[in-house]
Amino acid sequence: MRLHPLAFALVLGLALATPPVTAVEVVDPDVARLQATLAQIDSDPQFAGKAGLERLKAAQAIEALVAARNRERPALLDIAEHRVRAAETAAVADLLAEQSAALDRERDQIVIDASRREAENARREADRLRSRALAQQEEAARLAELAEVERVARAETFALAEQARAEAEQSRRLAASRTREAQLAREEAELATALVAEALAAAAPLPPSRQIAGATVYTLAGNAFGSGRATLTTEANASLRRLAQELGGRRVEVVGFTDSQGEAAANLRLSQRRADAVAAILREAGIEATAQGRGEADPVADNATEQGRARNRRVEVTVR
């Protein structure tokens, strides 16, 4: 059967208009799987900027697998899988390290805040104890004065005088008891100061130092103590405890000095008490320390000026 010329032309036109059939690209399932895994790592925001080198090596290994020949494919597939797993493991490790560092910083801040709160609480407690001690001293003085007034008032007769003496003795004992309570309060305040100083020691600056004939001499200035007292201030106490941490178990010599104001004997006693106070703190830290008071001896400046006297009031810690 022959086609009509018009029908034949129509069939031929349809054949020429139909595009040629192309081969369907075959997707390697292993390559697709590895690329999907790597893409998942790349798209995860928490892995951003992490394991960059391992991810680059994994991508290169996948590219090598895509271009591999048949006989090379098993080895390159194993390498690519290993690289992808390594990239994933490295990204997770970097993330965990970052989270661990953040936790460490948070923990350190918590410790610092707790130390500050403890120091502030200790300072408030010391202030409260000082106020209570002052009130107790004033009360003891008032009671003693009242006892004296009562004793004089009852001195007209022997019986009244005996009664007055008994009351005076009772008041004296009460005053002694109050004085003891005040002493305990001072000791508690000193303990609170020591606790604060111990908390601040790690961040406290070391006392100024200088080198003399192969030895290191650390100097605590006169303002490290209250006026006429042998009790270290909180800042000086913390600085001294920091020095004790630095010295370890070494032997030291502690020498106290004063300016030339006042009686020489009183200055000598004060310098010895201050040297003993410094040595006691060093010994608490396990350092073998000797203490000596030199009073007005060996001035390092002119005692005729206030600045010179301030420099002469000092305690020196010599480490050989």
Residue among 272, 266, 280 nearest 237 (CA): 280
pLDDT on residue 40 = 93
Residue 140, pLDDT > 90, answer no
DSSP E strands, 175-320: 209-212, 215-221, 252-257, 289-293, 314-319
204-319, which class in CATH?
alpha beta
Lowest model confidence (mean pLDDT) among 4-13, 138-147, 253-262, 272-281: 4-13
Q: What is the largest CA-CA distance in the chain?
A: 168
pLDDT on residue 182 = 47
What value does the mean pLDDT take over residues 180-203? 56
What gap in Å lies between CA 276 and CA 286, rounded to an integer? 15
pLDDT on residue 254 = 98
Percent of the chain past pLDDT 70, that is, above it, reads 79
pLDDT on residue 233 = 94
For residues 253 and 217, the answer to whether their CB atoms sit within 8 Å is: no
Q: Which two tokens stand for residue 168?
A: 């005076």
Q: Which two tokens stand for residue 237?
A: 């106490």
Residue among 299, 256, 297 nearest 279 (CA): 256
CA distances from 236 to 63, 159, 206 (A): 68, 57, 9
Roughly what angle, to the nearest 10 degrees, separates helices 73-153 and 52-66?
Answer: 170
What value does the mean pLDDT take over residues 30-44? 93
pTM of the model: 0.42
Lowest model confidence (mean pLDDT) among 5-14, 41-50, 226-235, 257-266: 5-14
Q: Which two tokens stand for residue 83?
A: 């690289």
Q: Which two tokens stand for residue 9?
A: 């032309």
Query: Which three-class secondary structure string do you get for 148-197?
Result: HHHHHHCCCCHHHHHHHHHHHHHHHHHHHHHHHHHHHHHHHHHHHHHHHH
Sorted by where each begins, the domain ranges of the chain are 117-196, 204-319
What gap in Å lies between CA 220 and CA 214, rounded to an integer? 20
Supply the DSSP symbol for 44. -
CA distances from 119 to 81, 108, 206, 274 (A): 57, 17, 20, 25
Q: Which residues lie across from 289 on neighbouring strands? A: 252
Question: Taking all residues of the chain, what is their mean pLDDT, rounded to a whole number?
Answer: 83
Give residues with Cβ within 8 angstroms of 285, minimum separation 6.
241, 244, 245, 247
Q: Which amino acid is at 287?
A: I
If residue 6 lies in a helix (H) or strand (E), which one and from where to where? helix 5-17
